[in-house]
Amino acid sequence: MGPHPPARARCCSFEDYQQTTEWLLSRTSLRPRVAVICGSGLGLLAEPLQNRQSFRYQDIPNFPLSTVQGHEGRLVFGTVKEQPCVFMQGRFHLYEGYSLCKVTFPVRIFKLMGVHTLVVTNASGGICPDFKVGDMMIIKDHVNLPGFAGQHPLSGPNDERFGVRFPCMSDAYSAALRRLALEISGELGCTTFTREGVYCMVSGPNFETVAEARMLQVLGSDSVGMSTVPEVTVAKHCGIRVFGLSLITNKVCMDYSREEKLNHEEVLNISEMRVETVRKLVHELVARCHAPEQGINTH
């Protein structure tokens, strides 16, 4: 064997991405420009779309299946105030046993379809002491803990057809879209529970220990969850600009004397309580986020 280790094979080839894209484009006349990934309990974001057309994940070639309660498992095409878009009702996670190549598979499909903007939503635990359950946190940056440990969606051979080997991530979340979201939040009367902060990804599926939660706070994290960062990384790699929104569904336990124990049902209950507000904000953002060349900078 030579001095270089063999390239680790990727589980998704460019031909897989092309096949899935062609299958979808041949079955819908819509050409989405904005994609939205719905977090836990937030699948209802896709319900009021006009010209709605949906496909079950199990029917789409090469698509993974969502196995988590609160993730429906459908790709929904439609329009929001004439903006053509696609919504993922249900995402994929490392803890389900998927490779990060599979977790991020839909993002590259969106790129090949002509999507220019990705909106990612999630349910997350609040670490920042100022945050309250039910707050909406606009993500300004993230900490990719699995990436630090070698679990990274861009590991392995780089496909130049999507992006460069070493993408810059210092501007992963579009500042222009964050400003627009804050403006919309003001119009909706939501400013009292709209925050900005840093999202930290852990792989899960367990909720954090007290010691882990304290460490994440020291690292500068305002909230923590088990998703989002792989999709954002791949979107940024292939030139899609990103807006991220975390719904704070619980306070992360930072104290050994705290009696109550966190569970997934509680997360879904808070998502249900706030889903209509999140829907209004996301739909208004989708309707108003024109392509970058039409007036909003990519950064």
222-to-125, 200, 246 alpha-carbon distances in Å: 9, 8, 10
Query: Which residue among 88, 226, 237, 246 is the active-site one?
Result: 226
4 is catalytic: no
265 is catalytic: no
Within the chain, how many helices (H) and strands (E) appear? 8, 9
- The pair of structure tokens assigned to 155 is 């590991």
113 catalytic residue (yes or no): no
Among 227, 237, 283, 284, the one annotated catalytic: 227
Please check whether residue 199 is in contact with residue 142, taking contact to mean a CB–CB distance below 8 angstroms.
Answer: yes
**HSE of 174 in the Cβ direction (CA atoms, 13 Å)?**
27
Among candidate residues 54, 95, 212, 266, the one labeled active-site is 95
Catalytic-residue membership of 283: no
In the annotation, is 223 catalytic? Answer: no
Task: Considering the candidates 46, 93, 221, 235, report the single residue annotated as catalytic.
Answer: 93
Establish whether 116 is a catalytic residue.
Answer: no
**Whole-angstrom Cα Rg for the chain:** 18
**Catalytic option among 96, 208, 231, 284:** 96
CA distances from 259 to 127, 184, 249, 255 (A): 17, 38, 18, 9
The one catalytic residue among 35, 88, 113, 123: 123
Exactly one of 71, 142, 237, 283 is catalytic; name it: 71
Identify the active-site residue in 221, 223, 250, 271: 250
- Catalytic residue check, 93: yes
The pair of three-digit structure tokens given for residue 158, joined into one six-digit string: 């780089």
Query: Which strand (E) or helix (H) includes residue 146?
Result: helix 145-148
Cα 297 to Cα 44: distance, rounded to the nearest angstrom: 29
Active site residue 264: yes
To the query of whether residue 235 is one of the catalytic residues in this protein, the response is no
The catalytic site residues sit at 40, 71, 93, 95-96, 123, 226-227, 250, 264
